Structure 1
């Protein structure tokens, strides 16, 4: 009798396990890029990772400690904007990055060539951070750390501050470790940036969400308060008990939070998500053939 419910719970458990493993792998991959490629060659990127690497070289303290101390305030400041589940994934991602960095600190560099180290290290760091964001391990405040999402982003004034902050870190690295290192650092930073974009491609695109529930008004207010999303009431609930319908737009990064909000009001609600972006030619042909 409860077979559909048991199947749904089992699928939810598998999805959660895959998400946790993805966060762990992303954190470890980012740690590999930092400790086995970038740090041995004194390559300093922008953002929090770059500032942490710069201070680690100057003080001889472990990179992992600075990564944890500098990222923790971002998590605490964003706690009011994300639910507990997102906060736990965020802490897990930061914990894996920190522990991975500390564990790999004494290992020798994988490559003695700074160009290879810049390419491999930048890609590992960018892909690792992207996987953590995609799996919910880091919040979108990673944008303030110097890695912008491909669509959208902070306000123009914030972008100027981020750019100046990153330039200052790269300039300081060049003055301390030489301009050759600064050139390789720029290559690594650009590749890390592209690695994040590659991992997050499509996550910030808006998707149409249809919510069928008997508590549409409560859900609409909660979405406005928590996600800053306006939901349009398509059909109100009828006195006979027929559920109403809400329509809103949300990115893939917001889907889990949106589902959690809706389910907190109505466990029997129905959520339908469809992509609002036009299909590519390849996708259109594949759909017609299948």
Structure 2
């Protein structure tokens, strides 16, 4: 626990510094979750990566490449609102997680059991995203929206914001993949993700993003 407290010291994000070793670690974990667990099982738990999982069914591009393409317009908003330090960290996180997700297609999926995939994918997604957040960047997509809302409503937990923003993508996945099971498992993954993210960011204190 002491190691984790040091690892995720809040002073990094408060002073605008980006901890690149941590950011790279979080981005790789995030990319593994998308490319090796969620995408092979057609689970789309919101965000740019969720949209990419759905689009990859129709387009001849990897889910990582699609995620990077979806995030391009959001980078302009990131630069305007949070500044170039935040933008650099976000670009690195998006690129590394996207490339990692595409590279994962070279390997056998972690599991073909959709229930286990929902659990493992949600945990890895939340852990990776939490590490990236704590390092001073984001993985793009609704991460940026969550930081914007968090700035205006500091009492809201980040996981709750993600649940609200990403729910519609989970519903849409049921139509895209032609099964309500996909939508339900996407919601379940999103719930696991949100709980993991809140634990990574706040521990026992859910209401303050330090």
Q: CA RMSD in A?
A: 3.2
Higher helix share: 2
CA 1:81–1:151 in 2, change beyond 3 Å: closer, same or farther?
Answer: closer
Give 1:183's aligned residue.
184
TM-score of the pair, normalised by structure 1: 0.56
Task: Give the Å deviation of 1:43.
Answer: 0.8
The answer (yes or no) to whether the contact 1:121–1:188 under 8 Å persists in 2 is yes
Whether the aligned pair in 1 keeps the contact of 2:65 and 2:98 (CA below 8 Å) is yes
Structure 2 unaligned spans of 5+: 1-11
Q: 1: distance between equivalents of 2:67 and 2:42? A: 16
Gaps of 5+ in 1: 1-11, 206-250, 253-290
Aligned to 2:155: 152
Q: Does structure 1 conserve the Cα–Cα contact (< 8 Å) formed by 2:170 and 2:186?
A: yes
State whether residues 78 and 86 of structure 2, in contact with CA within 8 Å, keep that contact through their aligned partners in structure 1: no
Aligned to 2:55: 55
Structure 2 SS opposite 1:57:
coil
Answer with 1 or 2: which has the greater Rg. Answer: 1
Once residues 22 and 119 of structure 2 are traced to their aligned partners in structure 1, the CA distance between those partners, rounded to angstroms, is 23
Deviation at 1:143, TM superposition (A): 5.1
The aligned residue for residue 19 of structure 1 is 19
The alignment partner of 2:137 has SS state of coil
The higher relative CO (CA closer than 8 Å, separation ≥ 6) is in 2
Q: Map of 1:193-208 to 2, 5 A cutoff? A: 193-201=194-202, 205=208
Paired residue for 2:90?
90
How much has 1:153 moved relative to structure 2? 5.0
Q: Deviations over 1:172-209 (max 9, x none)?
A: 2112321222221111111111222122215973xxxx
Deviations 1:136-159 (A, max 9, x none): 12289615269x7695359xxxx7
Shift of the 126–91 alpha-carbon distance from structure 1 to 2, 3 Å rule, reads same
Moved segments of 4+, more than 3 Å: 148-154, 165-168
- TM-score under structure 2 normalisation? 0.75
